[in-house]
Amino acid sequence: MTTITIFGQGNMGKAIGENFQAAGNVVSYIGKGEVADSVGDIVVLAVPYPALSSIVKENAEKLAGKVVIDITNPLDFDTFDSLVVPADSSAAAEVQKALPNSKVLKAFNTTFAGTLTSKTIGGSHQTTVLVAGDDAEAKSQVFAALEGSGLATLDAGSLKRARELEAVGFLQLTLAGSEKISWNGGFGLFN
């Protein structure tokens, strides 16, 4: 059993938390404006990208040594037409810079809350959580914590791959936002 702390109580935070709970883990939530006295073994940052910097800054000491999952897609919410991180970086890489003593992973940003809840994409194909990061042990810890949740997991490579995951997440969000796919749809992996 792993302890999971989720910053954010929106649709994504709840859907992620329900999957960790279904796999037998203990999940706690920290809502907007709440202070974290302590955090679990795995911490999920299930908040909009603009909220990341203040959460990271305020909790850096508590997050040291923890597995920290960034789920954000750093969109320009004014134009919905670009990512706002440097072209050679990602939101997750920026979080890792701010938390050098944490094990930062990128995950859950290429899934919608609906696909995490139903555990399927388009009602027919198993939802896969892609995980990128530089710490193999941290990835293994997340994979183990999701085992039994009904979700598939896949190692997407190093933290450098977070940039591509954010681009896929961005494309998926713009397709759903323009009603070209449903919020229960998205991209699936087939072997």
Q: Is the pLDDT of residue 48 over 90?
A: yes
Domains for the chain: give ranges and CATH numbers: 3-177 (3.40.50.720)
* CB of 15 closer than 8 Å to CB of 39: no
Cα(158)–Cα(131) distance, integer angstroms: 9
Cα(176)–Cα(113) distance, integer angstroms: 12
- What share of the chain has pLDDT > 90, as a percent? 84
Which DSSP state fits 50? G
pLDDT in tens, 74-113: 988 888 788 889 888 999 999 999 999 999 999 999 999 9
- The SS3 call for residue 100 is coil
- The SS3 call for residue 25 is coil
Residue 149: the pLDDT is 98
Residue 189: the pLDDT is 85
* CB of 57 closer than 8 Å to CB of 14: no
Residue 122: the pLDDT is 85
Q: Is the pLDDT of residue 9 over 80?
A: yes
pLDDT in tens, 123-150: 889 999 999 999 999 999 999 999 999 9
Residue 70: the pLDDT is 98
- The SS3 call for residue 75 is strand
pLDDT in tens, 152-161: 999 999 999 9
The residues, any chain, with a CB within 8 Å of residue 82's CB and separated by 6 or more, are: 75, 76
* CB of 36 closer than 8 Å to CB of 62: yes
* CB of 2 closer than 8 Å to CB of 25: yes
Evaluated on CA atoms 64, 136, 119, 48, the torsion sign reads positive
Place of tokens 């999920």: 44
Q: State the pLDDT confidence band at 55, using cuts at 50, 70 and 90.
A: very high
Cα(46)–Cα(157) distance, integer angstroms: 21
Q: Is the pLDDT of residue 36 over 90?
A: no
What amino acid is encoded at 14 in this protein?
A: K
pLDDT in tens, 163-189: 999 999 999 999 998 999 999 888 888
